[in-house]
Structure 1
Amino acid sequence: MKRFDLRHLKNDFAGRLKEILNNELQKEEVGIFLFEVIDFDNVQKSADIVDECGYILMNSLRFNEVDWTIVVKKAS
Structure 2
Amino acid sequence: MRRIDLRKSKDLFVDLKNHIDNAKENEVLVVLFEIGDFSNIDKAYEFVANNNCKMMNSLKFNQCDWTIVIKKEAK
TM over 0.5: yes
In the alignment, structure 2 segments of 5+ residues that lack a partner are none
Structure-2 separation of matches of 1:26 and 1:39? 31
- Paired residues, what number? 74
The C-alpha deviation readout for 1:8-58, integer Å capped at 9, x for no partner, is: 116x211000111112x1111100000000111100111111111110000
Q: Which runs of 4+ in 1 moved over 3 A?
A: none
Q: TM-score, normalised by structure 2?
A: 0.92
1:54 maps to 52
In the alignment, structure 1 segments of 5+ residues that lack a partner are none
Shift of 1:69: 0.1
Q: Sequence identity of aligned pairs in percent?
A: 45
Structure-2 separation of matches of 1:21 and 1:75? 10
Structure-2 separation of matches of 1:50 and 1:21? 9
